[in-house]
Amino acid sequence: MTTPYAELHCLSNFTFLRGASHPEELVQQAADLGYQALALTDECSFAGVVCAHRAIKEENLSLKLIIGSEFRHASGLYIVLVTGRKAYAELSTLITQCRRQAEKGHYTFTPAQLTDLQHCLLLWQPAEQEILSEYAALIRHFHQRLWLLGERTLDEFDAHHYIDIARWADTLDLPVVAASNVHMHHPSRHSLQDCLTAIRMNQPVQQIKHRLYANAERHLRSLKKLSHLYPEHWLQESVSVANKCTFNLDEISYLYPTDSVPDGLCAREYLKTLVEKGQTIRFPEGTPAHIQQTIDKELRLIAQKEYEHYFVTLYDIVQFARSKNIMCQGRGSAANSVVCYCLFLTEVNPQEVQLLFERFISEERHEPPDIDIDFESQRREEVIQYIYQKYGRERAALAATVIRYRPRSALRDVAKALGVNTAEQDRIVARYAGRYHGHEWMDHVYPDSDQSPLTQRLRSLTQEILGFPRHLSQHVGGFVIAEGCLHELVPVENASMKERTVIQWDKDDLETLGLMKVDILGLGMMTAIRRSLNHLEMQISDIPREDPATYKMLQKADSVGVFQVESRAQMNMLPRLKPACYYDLVVQVSIVRPGPIHGDMVHPYLKRRNGHEAADYPLPELRPILERTHGVPLFQEQVIAFAMVAADFTASEADQLRRSMASWRKKGHMHRLQNRLRENMLKNGFSEAYIERIQRQLEGFGEYGFPESHAASFALLVYLTAWLKCHHPGVFLAALLNSQPMGFYSPAQLINDARHHRVMVYPVDVNHSHWDHEALPDGSVRLGFRLVKGMNQEAAVRVLAARPETGYKSISDCTQAAQLNRKEREALASSGAFGALSEHRYHARWQAAEPAAASYQPDLIENLSQATDWELAAPDEVDNLLEDYQSLGVTLGRHPMEVLREQGLLGNSVTAEGLKQLKHGDESYISGIVTCRQRPGTSAGVTFITLEDETGCSNIVVWLATAKRQLDTLIHAQLLQVYGKVEQDPESGITHMIAYRLLDLSGSLERLKVQSHDFH
């Protein structure tokens, strides 16, 4: 009979680039081997413990998880284990101290710090005999809480280490506990562990042989093998130590911050007061009875869950933003809440959409609510600083995001670790970038025809490392705020950004343990909306609802720059769906998503909407759920309600179904729930055909489906931006340009689109421009200095501060008064900003260069100026185009395609406007600058290309066979000539060309660099 055993020293891959197994793999293997317990002891980190905890619960494993951490020092190896809640807080605080004292990704540690631990256990592996006497105080401090660490790895030092540990145990009168220094769950990961070591050391494996482990013994070994390696009392001691560790992560007790509730008031009454106050504004004519019932129900559930402080905290943050005129809006499942609407956390009117509060908060679901709030991206920092100032860095930090290996980074790092030279690394990554095989990308990068040992190793290691955590980064805006010290709940470390701190858990970890996360997100479009409204001196409430002209514009797919509906896929859908009201926009936002497309929901919806097919409701109870979407479930809320009615799911079970949709392909959880859904629907009399259709639609949601509340929040922004584009295109253009980087289109494309809408755009001019682009009273736009490459805001401020009311009289007047350096002078001259002060660009560049030399030889420069000014030939039209694109990224001159067409370089290519005049089935060819390449996962290998010319944009469809034949041209061409057949949809009027031949004409553009939006 084997001796029971608990592994007390185990690293997961959250000890980045050391551990070679996921926490989930480790706990599963330990349970399969019959271990009593497993201590996850990642180096100065708790980053992987929640993953292990979650896996044990989800898989119902018979294994105790012990929380611990490893610390390395010149004096030896220290493993700290948590016994109870106090010990957990101590170790979390120690990790925080070590991490905060070092730069991101590192830590500093001294054994003296261990004396602050009053309740933890310590396993120690001294470095050498001589240092033992120096640590007498540490030994006394950890009296009966200290063990020597006996680890056997069967390498050349193993026997020596075994003898030393036994001798030290006698000398110090300390017990020895067996451990295995685990780095992987299975010995098959040994090669990957070598690879990770090479990546960590930034050297090829071949050059660090002396730093690699000699064998694969650092894995979870069988109890039988362990009994042959260790004395029985060492093994028994491992279980004895494990028995002292009783802490479970479920014991973490999180308290919401109470700061935002006024003294003398309880949170429940204060929240109710805020909601009632908001009701008088939201419903000035009185709250409808059914809305009041919903509010009362929500408040009761919020009180039952004790979430009042959460809502009050969010209310305080949003009120701060509004007090500073920072535009903000909540989205996601929170928009299902009328309470959130009355607190002004969300803007979705509950009378305009069907709300399902259970999607936000459920009585059966024991997790905190999750509210995402978008703020103007350019002013979000003010909100972040407010949170830090109010709660302090002891109580507030950002959630982490785990940066994992994805194909591109995995290919490069593994190739580098195996000694592949940089040029070949680039070629490997380029093969991935040029792939055309969806999930079969590995076959494209490493074809089966290449059976060389190196290629096979590259392939297998790349496959293994995919999904491995690489490092922790900060969440885009998820704040964790605690009532007490946050570092007693979770370790906190420095972020790469100055004055930022990040906890070691991500959003999934927080959700598992029930910690509150407040998402303070930045949305560039909100900045653009706020800038537009400020210029127009309007409020959102001033914008008329359901404006016919706005919807007419959208129905024509005239949506460049409009939030969420500006992609080519959305533009193709707009004329087919023909949105005519707000709810149509809710559907429009949602339907062009992988979920509805894979679930075959798009065509049935459109057929029913357009009256070509009748909606079916097998049960009368389903009509209220599905009627607004013509019997097709487009939203997650509908799935929840459908499962409750059609399959007798409880609200909790239906929500589990909704959750499983997001991960069913990854984890396979959905099949169990699908079977349950199918069985119950059969019992309730549904036909096999209907059940099969519903299940296919649910599988579609597994790819990506929207909650209706989220779509409703976004639809508000769609309408606002569409109205601005329709009625104030110049103002909207200036706001979009001033809010960059954001959105789908480059500044050049936005400007070209505005000019097609008869917006006059004036060039950058040192006598008229400001830093920002400016909308002028007549509806035109003056470009600002922010567009000039090489020009920063500080230099622009100097130009503006020194500029006389009557303007600069000469280039030297400007450059000297504004104290412009050589780079700034050249940037302005190249951009044409000195156009009014010089004959042409070359002349301006010469004059702008003079101040630099004049300080040394003024007489010579004066003579040179007089001698050469008249000799400088003016740039021709093509040169000006090149200069424009190189210095500004856009030209206000003729479109490059018009110039090329005039020079006869495009043959008889049809224009974008001319393409629309051709008939379905006509064969022709078209030329244009590539502005967008898209290959959605839903497109069965099809690539969609957008070409731009002087008349507008055209849509090109490239089928898989054509793409494979001309892959290099498809991927890399800047100027493309496409031969193909015209296809037209008679109902929507959408015209595109099916390509059968691609010709790269990029050489005609010479030095012109245009920006395309590729494979996003």
pLDDT, tens digit (0-9, with 9 covering 90-100), for 610-629? 889 999 888 888 999 999 99
DSSP bridge partners of 523: 376
Q: What CA–CA distance (Å, rounded) separates 455 from 193?
A: 18
The share of the chain scoring above pLDDT 70, in percent, equals 92
Per residue in 957-1005, pLDDT tens?
999 889 888 988 998 899 999 999 999 988 778 899 999 999 999 988 7
| 8 A C-beta contact, residue 551 and residue 580 | yes
From the list 786, 802, 746, 754, the residue with the least C-alpha distance to 1012 is 746
CB 396 within 8 A of CB 479: yes
Contact 387/479 with Cβ under 8 angstroms? yes
Domain definitions of the chain by residue range: 6-187+197-251, 267-402+474-524, 406-466, 594-704, 745-887, 896-1014
d(CA 893, CA 752): 11
Residues 776-822 pLDDT 10s: 999 999 999 999 999 999 999 999 999 999 999 999 999 999 999 99
Give the model's pLDDT for residue 226. Answer: 97
Q: What is the pLDDT of residue 861?
A: 46
Looking at residue 1010, what is its pLDDT? 58
pLDDT in tens, 701-739: 655 667 788 888 999 999 999 999 999 999 999 999 999
Same-fold call for 6-187+197-251 versus 896-1014:
no
Q: Give yes or no for a contact between 848 and 825, defined as CB atoms under 8 angstroms apart.
A: yes
Measured CA to CA, the distance from residue 808 to residue 175 in angstroms comes to 85
* Cα distance between residue 430 and residue 440, in whole Å: 15
Which residue, 108, 37, 32, is CA-closest to 67?
37
For residue 202, with 0-12 CB atoms within 10 Å meaning exposed, 13-18 middle and 19 or more buried, which class applies? Answer: exposed
Residue 487 contacts residue 96 (beta carbons within 8 Å): yes
981: which strand partners? 923, 994
- Percentage with pLDDT > 90 across the chain: 68
Kind and range of the H or E run holding 523: strand 518-523
Pick the CATH number of 896-1014 from 3.10.20.30, 2.40.50.140, 3.90.1150.10, 3.10.20.80: 2.40.50.140
Q: What are the tens digits of pLDDT across the range 814-856? A: 999 999 999 999 999 999 999 999 989 998 988 888 654 444 4
Q: Which pLDDT does position 103 carry in this prediction?
A: 92
Taking the C-alpha atoms of residue 582 and residue 715, their distance in angstroms, rounded to an integer, is 7
Distance between start and end Cα atoms, the chain:
58
The angle subtended at Cα 148 by Cα 145 and Cα 153, nearest 5°, is 140
Structure tokens at 980: 């193909």
Express each pLDDT in 416-438 by its tens digit: 999 999 898 888 887 776 555 44
Cα–Cα distance, 1012 to 998 (Å, whole number):
17
Comparing CA positions, the residue from 214, 208, 132, 207 lying closest to residue 181 is 214
Dihedral Cα 980, 986, 991, 993, nearest 10 deg: -10
CB contact set of 543 (below 8 Å; sequence gap of 6+): 720, 723
Non-local CB neighbours of 58 within 8 Å, separated by 6+ positions: none
Predicted local distance difference test score (pLDDT) of residue 272:
97
Tokens representing 471 are: 């490092």
Q: What is the pLDDT of residue 939?
A: 56
Q: Please give the C-alpha separations between residue 128 and each of 124, 166, 611, in angstroms, as whole numbers.
A: 12, 13, 84
pLDDT, tens only, 85-128:
999 999 999 999 999 999 999 999 999 999 999 999 999 999 87
d(CA 656, CA 513): 17
CA distance 482 to 881: 56
Contacts of 143 (CB under 8 A, 6+ apart): none
Place of tokens 């494996």: 205
Q: pLDDT tens digit string along 640-670?
A: 888 899 999 987 788 777 777 655 544 545 5
**42 phi and psi angles, rounded to 5 deg:** -60, 150
Cβ neighbours of residue 535 closer than 8 Å, sequence gap 6 or more = 731, 734, 735, 775
pTM, full prediction: 0.86
CA dist list (Å): 263 to 258, 308, 553: 10, 15, 53
Question: Do 709 and 334 contact (CB within 8 A), yes or no?
Answer: yes
Q: What is the distance between the alpha carbons of residues 261 and 213, in angstroms, rounded to a whole number? A: 57
Q: How many CB atoms lie within 10 A of CB 534?
A: 13
What's the confidence (pLDDT) of residue 445?
80
Instruction: Check if CATH label 3.20.20.140 holds for domain 6-187+197-251.
Output: yes
> Kind and range of the H or E element at 930?
strand 923-934
Locate 525 and state its tokens: 């479009």
Distances (CA, A) of 216 to 184, 189, 196, 753: 9, 8, 14, 62
Q: What tens digit of pLDDT does each residue of 358-404 get?
A: 777 877 777 777 788 999 999 999 999 999 999 998 999 999 999 99
Whether 60 contacts 108, CB under 8 Å: no
pLDDT grade, residue 860 (50/70/90)? Answer: very low
The pLDDT confidence band at residue 1009, using thresholds 50, 70 and 90, is: low
Q: Region 203-213: what's the mean pLDDT?
A: 94
Question: What is the overall mean pLDDT for the chain?
Answer: 90
Query: What is the CATH number assigned to the segment(s) 267-402+474-524?
Result: 3.30.1900.20
Would you say residue 299 has pLDDT above 90? yes
Average pLDDT over residues 671-700: 84
**What 3-state DSSP class applies to 838?**
coil
Of 242, 247, 250, the C-alpha closest to 85 is 247
Q: Which two tokens stand for residue 847?
A: 């004059």
Query: Number of helices (H) and strands (E), helices first, in the chain?
Result: 43, 23
Structure tokens at 567: 């992609």
Please state, as a whole number, how many other Cβ atoms lie within 10 Å of the Cβ of residue 531. 24
**H or E segment at 964?**
helix 960-965
Relative orientation angle of helices 582-591 and 708-727, to the nearest 10 degrees = 110
Widest CA span in the chain? 102
Q: Which two tokens stand for residue 450?
A: 């290449």
Average pLDDT (232-254) is: 96
Q: Is 485 exposed, middle or buried (0-12, 13-18, 19+ CB in 10 A)?
A: middle
Distance CA 314, CA 383 (A): 12
CA dihedral 935, 939, 940, 942 (to 10 degrees): -50
Buried b (16+ CB within 10 A) or exposed e, 395-409: bbbbbbbbeebebee
Q: How far is CA 109 from the centre of its chain?
A: 33
Give CA torsion, residues 724, 728, 729, 731, to 10 deg.
-90
